[in-house]
Structure formats: structure tokens, C-alpha cells
Amino acid sequence: MSKNKLKKYAETLEYENIIQPTKQQLFNGFGIKGHWHEEVFGNQKPIVLELGAGKGEYSLMLAAKHPSKNFIAVDIKGDRLLKGAKEAKEKNLDNLVFLRIQIEHIELAFEQDEVDEIWITFPDPFPKKTRAKNRMTSRRFLHRYKNILKKNGLVHLKTDNTQFFDFTHEILTELNQEILFSTRDLYSEDLDNTDATGLQTYYERKWLEDGAKIKYMDFRLNLD
Ligand SMILES: C[S@@+](CC[C@H](N)C(=O)[O-])C[C@H]1O[C@@H](n2cnc3c(N)ncnc32)[C@H](O)[C@@H]1O
């Protein structure tokens, strides 16, 4: 690890709102799995994940808007999570923590039914076909989400990327999953101020200024 990375890593350890289990801890039975309510939040409020959260910009907005829910911003990049964790502390958001793991290992961090809702916000599109399995709505990921979500738990996807959006539609249709709402131009819809329309990240605002269309869908997972 470079000196700078080591310094950043040391800094992340100072923040108690960043949880970063080692692979060994995850694979040998992660103590918080199944105990997020009691061990981390100290309440029984619903748990919402933002996957591939980066700096957790969306989670910061959701957590401020919904004190009645708990939020966990998940990403593998510690330096990004650190920025969000600092902001959450400054804003005294005690209903938001940051989890540094590979999404591939999400089932090692959460028990079946422990999660109420999932947000996937502007995921990496991985446009090359050979890397399609890395897309956060590929089959292998959807099966993992189903294994931690409550029955009827919602998954929200917000993206500027048409190819990623179409890919997700295709997969969900192939798997016969229920898409509740879907739009290729979110802001052309006559919607109230929802969590999808009412909250915008810095890049989302920039893309909108440049004329991009934001795509959004929410769906349920009912996989075998
Ligand atoms: C394009 S960024 C979007 C960040 C944020 N959601 C936003 O809207 O600004 C995608 C993020 O997903 C994370 N990511 C991609 N694949 C991942 C994986 N398999 N496990 C953990 N994080 C992942 C990357 O580290 C990156 O921070």
C-alpha cells in the first residue's frame, strides 16, 4: 500500500461510523451479521442500503430526510466512504453508517430479512459484455440481494446510463420479476416529490444541466 493510502486507511479507522471488516472476519462469521439493529443503531427502525454508494451522497440526503429509518452506505473504496463519514458526523446523522466491503460479500454481512430496502445509485456501467457480471444488477448480485431483503422489500435503481437500464430490464424480465415503476425520463413524469425525484447528487445535477435523461425503476425480488 502506498504511504498516502496507508494514511487514509488509518484515518478511516478513527471513524466509528465506518465499519470495515477484514475478509477473514467476514468469512469466519461477522459478528454484526443479524445484529445491525442492536449492535449498530440501537433501535429497530427499518434498514436501507445504498450499494456502490461512493461518498454516500444519496445516503446522506436520505438519512437527513428519513430519521425514522437506518441507512448503510456500502462501497469498497475507503477514501470515498471517509468523505461521507466525515459529513455524516458534521451533520450529527446517527441513522447513517458506512460499510466497506465488496458487494459480492453482502450476504456475509447481513442475515436473511435484515434489510428493508436497497438503493443502487448511478452504478458503474461496466459496458463491456465480458464484464457484465460485475454490473450491480447482474443475476449473481440479484440473488444475493434477495437473500438479505425482507419479502416485498423494494430495490430502487437510478442511473443516467441507458445500456445499464436496459440490461436491468432484460434480466428482471427473464427472471420474471415484478417491476413496480419504470421510466427512462424521470423528470418528465408527473410525480410528487419522491426520494427518486426530490434528491439529486452533484453529478446528477451536472448531467441534467447537460441534457441527460435520468432513468429510474423500482422492483421486488422473488427469486428461487
Ligand atoms: C459510479 S460510482 C457511483 C457512486 C455514487 N452512488 C454516486 O451516485 O455518486 C460507483 C461506485 O460503486 C462502487 N462499486 C462498484 N462495484 C463495486 C463492488 N463490487 N463492491 C463494492 N463497491 C463497488 C465503486 O467503488 C464506486 O464508488
Catalytic positions:
124
Q: How would residue 168 be classed by pLDDT, with cut points 50, 70 and 90?
A: very high
Ligand 1 is surrounded, with C-beta below 6 A, by 52-54, 57-58, 75-77, 80, 102-104, 121-124, 201, 203
Helix H segments across 50-161? 57-65, 78-90, 106-109, 139-146
Cα 20 to Cα 36, 79, 205, distances in angstroms:
14, 12, 30
Q: Taking residues 191-213, report their average pLDDT.
A: 94
Measured CA to CA, the distance from residue 93 to residue 114 in angstroms comes to 21
For 107, the 3-state DSSP assignment is helix
Averaged pLDDT of the chain? 95
Please report the atom of ligand 1 found closest to the CA of residue 102. 20
Q: Does 196 have pLDDT greater than 90?
A: yes
Owning domain of residue 48:
3-220
Cell of 179: 417491476
Asked if residue 67 lies in contact with residue 135, where contact means CB atoms within 8 angstroms, the answer is: no
Compute the distance from residue 53 Cα to the ligand 1 centre, in Å.
Answer: 6
Q: Look at the chain and report how many structural domains it folds into.
A: 1
Measured CA to CA, the distance from residue 38 to residue 114 in angstroms comes to 12
Among residues 122, 155, 110, the alpha carbon closest in space to that of 53 is found at 122
Measured CA to CA, the distance from residue 84 to residue 59 in angstroms comes to 9
Compute the distance from residue 75 Cα to the ligand 1 centre, in Å.
Answer: 6
**Residue of the nearest CA to atom 16 in ligand 1?**
52
CATH number of the domain that 99 lies in? 3.40.50.150
Tens digits of per-residue pLDDT, 59-114?
999 999 999 999 999 999 999 999 999 999 999 999 999 999 999 999 999 999 99
